[in-house]
Amino acid sequence: MARPRSKIDITCQISKCSYYLKEDGKDIVKRGKNRAGHQQYFCKHCNSWFVETANTPLYHKHLPLDEIILICKLLVEKLGIRAIERATGHHRDTICRLLEDFAIHAEVLTQFLLKDVELTPFEVDELWSTVKKNKRELSVSSPE
How many domains is the chain built from?
A: 2
Sign of CA dihedral 74, 76, 80, 82: positive
Note whether 19 and 26 are within 8 A (CB). Answer: yes
Residue 46 has pLDDT above 60, yes or no: yes
Range of the domain at 50: 7-54
pTM of the model: 0.54
Is 70 among the domain residues?
A: yes
DSSP-assigned beta bridge partners for residue 51: 40
Give the pLDDT band (50/70/90) at residue 144.
very low
Which strand ranges, in their side-by-side order, compose the sheet holding 39-43? 28-33, 39-43, 48-51
User: Over the stretch 74-96, which tens digit does the pLDDT of each residue have?
Assistant: 988 888 999 999 999 999 999 99
Clarify whether residues 106 and 126 are in a common domain.
Answer: yes
Clarify whether residues 108 and 130 are in a common domain.
Answer: yes
Spell out the residues 6+ positions from residue 18 whose beta carbon is closer than 8 angstroms to its own.
Answer: 45, 46
Average pLDDT value over all residues in the chain: 81
